[in-house]
Structure 1
Amino acid sequence: MKLKALVSGVFAVSTLFATSALAGPQSCPSTLRFADTGIEGMEEMVRTYHQFQEKLGGILDINIEFFPVSDRTATVNALQFEQVDMILAGPSEYAVMRARQDVKMMVGIERTEYGTAFVVHEDSGIYSLEDLRGKHIAMKDPGSTTGHIIPSMMLNEAGFDIDRDLRISLLDGARFEALVNRDVDAMGSGVRDVARLEERDPNGRYRVIAESDTMPRDIFVARGGISDACVAYVSEKMYEHGDALMDAILGPGERRKYVGSRFVNDLTEDEYDRITEAYALVGFPLN
């Protein structure tokens, strides 16, 4: 049987067709434990991914169980102790995982409008990143790709010492209100958050002063102990049924960030090197 086998490990994921008698449900554990690094708690996992769980289990003919993780550190620990088999991660989370544990690339999700934007009040007198010197900036949560790592890198590349030249507050969901109420001078967050900001403050007037390039894709990651044959089988099936799986992810309405997204199988390690470099540039340890 010809399969779109996906090269895992330190090299690349590509549309490689291979024949393997081992690549099927029998090559995998009878149950695959699934986690999303952006979801905390079993209740939220069930609410967000119950349709995906049922759809993927049926496609693979494998039982899918949830294993919720509380943060990035918990994810790495779960990998170390073989408590989880498959994880959906953002670029930052994957950069941390591959630095600390043996993991294998699977398929990815290519998101629309996936980048960082710096936004300010239109009457702020701030027109560029250079104007942020001495200002107070709201960002998301520690380690967020578009809400922490990349905006910090952008400021660094603009010539700032982010510890001395300005003030950064990691406010997570409170970052919107902080900017609306002018408790901060600017917000560095995801591109889509600009629309969310305007929805929260329809009478406000805002200006985007800088945007990043498009980010690397989100990625499904297998723990290192999962066989290559299983990784190839699961990846091929997920890519083949990508539209149905995306509908299942979007169905409950909890993962709106994936609206307009698609499954991809052309991931390479190189695209995540950019995130690793960003961590080093801004002085955040991966290990």
Structure 2
Amino acid sequence: MLRSFLATLAVTLGLVATSAEAKTVRMAVTDLVGLEELQREFGEFKKVLTETTGYEIEFLPVSNRTAAVEALRFKKVDLVMTGPAEYVVIKKRAPKTRIVAGLSRPDYFAVVVTLANAPYNLAKDLKGKKVGIGPVGSTSRHLGPIQVFADGGLEPLKQLEITHTKAPMLWEALKRGDVQAIGFNNTDFLKLRAKEAEGGLQPGAFRVIGRGPDLPNDMLMAGEHVEAEVVETIRKAFAEHGPRFIDAILVGEENKKYKGMQFLTKLDDKDYNYVRSMYRTAGFPEYSDFIGD
């Protein structure tokens, strides 16, 4: 009886010690505000990260992107999941933050679209015209299209009349002739074109006259204060259990954009120089503040 009691006690104490030793890692996502939303979209991801690293993952809601970078700077959060446009600002304001891993999204690029019967074949043909692009600050719906216009030979802020709104409203504005072209991401275009074909204009009624390169990856960032061992442990988990993490991310309805993704554990800051050029083109050459916050 005594031996059985001592064995049980040893197991219990071992479990308590293991629990006490589990490191807590705090995580935020810049696109999600409330704890309920974080849990819904990334709850399964959190579970897999805990199981594969042994760390206790704790969600920290942030009210906006500025709050996320301040939380990193003041060690209130350890990891931040964010996008390319946010990354360059965070890196400027907290230079010693590191990329833990990238989330490579297929077909992630910006397009400029006109009606096929319009007299525009290249982005530069739109000089002096009214165009619509997505919400201010978005990587693929604002900054991406702005850079497509620039790469096509225009000075967008001087030679275009630009209006901003959401993708469905852009689509209707183009059809009505309120704007001569619209810019957003390729996923928006394909979804809206497919929906349109169900009872409206057919795909051939639209023409892509500008396409940007595949955009840099979304990523998970670690604060300067996070130990190198923690960063490497998480990278190793992504490398060894990538399919589990991908399935976990895709549970979130807002995360369907990541379908077909891959985790990348070798990324370099220079991979995001194209995003910095977008900021300059949009009139924010310092890229030290979030556009639209």
Query: Under TM normalisation by the shorter chain, which class is it?
Result: 0.7 to 0.9
Which stretch shows the higher mean deviation, 254-263 or 140-149? Answer: 140-149
In structure 1, what is the equivalent of residue 180 of structure 2?
185
Q: Which amino acid aligns with 2:137?
A: G
In structure 2, what is the equivalent of residue 216 of structure 1?
216
Secondary structure at 2:244 match in 1: helix
Distance of aligned partners of 1:175 and 1:47 in 2 relative to their CA distance in 1, 3 Å threshold? farther
In structure 2, what is the equivalent of residue 45 of structure 1?
38
In structure 2, what is the equivalent of residue 258 of structure 1?
258
**Higher helix proportion:** 2
Correspondent of 2:160 among 146, 151, 166: 166
- Alignment length (residue pairs): 262
Larger radius of gyration between Structure 1 and Structure 2: 2
Runs of 5+ unmatched residues, structure 1: 1-24
Distance of aligned partners of 1:41 and 1:177 in 2 relative to their CA distance in 1, 3 Å threshold? farther
Query: How far off is 1:141 after superposition?
Result: 2.2
Following the alignment from structure 2 to structure 1, what is the Cα–Cα distance between the partners of residues 119 and 60? 47
Secondary structure at 2:243 match in 1: helix
Q: Which amino acid aligns with 1:195?
A: L
Query: How far off is 1:181 after superposition?
Result: 4.1
Q: Which amino acid aligns with 1:122?
A: A
TM-score normalised by structure 1 residue count? 0.84
Distance of aligned partners of 1:29 and 1:189 in 2 relative to their CA distance in 1, 3 Å threshold? farther
Following the alignment from structure 2 to structure 1, what is the Cα–Cα distance between the partners of residues 132 and 67? 25
How does 1:1-287 map onto structure 2 within 5 Å? 30-101=23-94, 102-173=96-167, 174-202=169-197, 203-204=200-201, 205-284=205-284, 285-287=286-288
Following the alignment from structure 1 to structure 2, what is the Cα–Cα distance between the partners of residues 29 and 86? 17
Secondary structure at 1:124 match in 2: coil
Distance of aligned partners of 1:30 and 1:67 in 2 relative to their CA distance in 1, 3 Å threshold? same
Distance of aligned partners of 1:84 and 1:183 in 2 relative to their CA distance in 1, 3 Å threshold? farther
Following the alignment from structure 1 to structure 2, what is the Cα–Cα distance between the partners of residues 29 and 272? 34
Say if 2:133 and 2:184, in contact at 8 Å, map to a contact too.
yes
Following the alignment from structure 2 to structure 1, what is the Cα–Cα distance between the partners of residues 222 and 76? 12
Q: Which amino acid aligns with 1:215?
A: L
Runs of 5+ unmatched residues, structure 2: 1-17, 289-293
Following the alignment from structure 1 to structure 2, what is the Cα–Cα distance between the partners of residues 124 and 91? 33
- Aligned-pair identity in percent equals 31
Say if 1:243 and 1:263, in contact at 8 Å, map to a contact too.
no
Q: Which amino acid aligns with 2:32?
A: I
Offset from partner CA, 1:254-281 (integer Å, 9 cap, x none): 2111011111112111211222233224
Following the alignment from structure 1 to structure 2, what is the Cα–Cα distance between the partners of residues 74 and 265? 26
Secondary structure at 1:216 match in 2: coil
Say if 2:30 and 2:64, in contact at 8 Å, map to a contact too.
yes
Say if 1:126 and 1:132, in contact at 8 Å, map to a contact too.
yes
Say if 2:111 and 2:148, in contact at 8 Å, map to a contact too.
no
Say if 1:116 and 1:146, in contact at 8 Å, map to a contact too.
yes
Offset from partner CA, 1:201-251 (integer Å, 9 cap, x none): 222221111111111122110011101111111111122111100000002
Q: Which amino acid aligns with 2:136?
A: P
Secondary structure at 2:58 match in 1: strand
